[in-house]
Amino acid sequence: MYPRQTLIRLVAHKAVLRREIARQRAECVAAAIEVARPVAWLDSAVAVLRELPPLARLGVASLGLWARRAALERLTRFAGILRWVPLVSALWRKRR
């Protein structure tokens, strides 16, 4: 048999491992919920869209294309700003 001290140390280590596993499981659940949120929203949007009459669907589709174009324009502006980040960060580091 194992000495008593070794068994006590192993029991404590096992408890620490169980707490760590429980914490990681909780983090995985939180991450899965965060990832699934847009999918759930998209699913409910598709369900609402299926209930609309065909002519209204056409209007929603054109509205979606307009929103996509507006989002791409914002991303393009943001990309223009991001282009300068390496230069600014290099100058900031040299300043220090």
Summarize pLDDT for 49-64 with one digit per residue, the tens: 778 787 777 777 787 7
- CA separation for the pair 18, 10 (Å, rounded): 12
Distance CA(28)–CA(72), nearest Å, equals: 32
Distance CA 10, CA 14 (A): 6
Domain boundaries, the chain: 1-51, 56-96
Give pLDDT tens digits for 62-75.
877 788 777 777 77
The pLDDT mean for the chain works out to 84
pTM metric for this prediction:
0.45
